[in-house]
Amino acid sequence: MTILLAPMEGLLDHPLREVLTEVGGIDRCVTEFIRITDQLLPARVFTRVMPELFNGSRTRAGTPVRAQLLGSDPNCLAENAARLAELGAEGIDLNFGCPAKTVNRHRGGAVLLDEPELLHAIMAAVRRAVPADLPVSAKMRLGHRDDERRIEAAQALAAGGAGELVVHARTKLQGYRPPAFWHRVADIRAAVAIPVVANGEIWTASDAQRARAESGCHGLMLGRGQVADPGLAWALRAADGAAPHPVTWAGLQPGLSRFWALVALKAAPRFRAGRMKQWLNLLRRRYPEAQAAFEQVRAVTDPAAVAAVLGLSTVVVPQSASVPGPPDLTLAG
């Protein structure tokens, strides 16, 4: 089974990619989207979203990371994809799945699924702009307002040169509301000759088994489910016959401290407590201890107080952790 870690704007960024890939079980990550409008972005924009570029396009655990671009201008997307290739990106992923109103209003994300001709033009332009051996993939939903054009959209991307297609099994209008319609992905898989990966509403190993059965897909992309249960990828592999690899709350504590340290590098002090509470809020679906921790810090906004309450240790973040900065940077709280 191929297991991918989803791109999720405002949640699954570099700090969480680092921690979740250290827990293990994940084959590849995709960054949160990098918005492309009308210009070639400087390298610092790409490395800010994807610090893994400093580490061979891999997390510290060695998991490959693919850069995701979002936009609607084929030529501009192609130019920026070429720049990412020069910077050493493992691959390029194109976002045709974002449901955010602001993004869609500016002709980005899922709204483009109503324009298969443009999807083809974007994919073909990006494919031509990067080396032939560099993977180019795409992520889409079942559609914009409905799923009537899902096959046409998928075929346009495949014909444009996509090497892999991830399908979030809901339309833009369905957002993130359960259920996910995995059986509708099966039609897409049958209509294209490239690998198709199912995504959406996979919280448990039993969800994963149903998603694979209904979609016919060998690969799965995990998002909120993996954030809520960092051992989910291992649980999926165990259900497939691999040795069990339980992730206990105690075993997750070094990861929480590392996450806190990486957030301190990335976020201004006033945002740090919110990032920890955001993750704890999801972790409490799986761990009773996370519920208790969340209650302890729910009203706390001071980063030092959060660290003290949760017992977050001082963490040494070397330069090899794929973050820019001096080596052996020690952070506390």
Catalytic residue set: 98
Question: Strand pairing partners for 315?
Answer: 331
Contacts of 256 (CB under 8 A, 6+ apart): 19, 276, 279, 310, 312
| Pairwise CA distance, residues 264 & 245, whole Å | 30
Contacts of 223 (CB under 8 A, 6+ apart): 5, 6, 8, 12, 199, 200, 202
Contacts of 109 (CB under 8 A, 6+ apart): 33, 70, 95, 96, 97, 98, 99, 100, 103, 172
In 3D, which of 14, 162, 179, 2 has the Cα closest to residue 91? 162
Q: Provide the residue type at 12 as one letter.
A: L
| Pairwise CA distance, residues 214 & 332, whole Å | 47
Q: Provide the residue type at 313 as one letter.
A: S
| Pairwise CA distance, residues 109 & 35, whole Å | 10
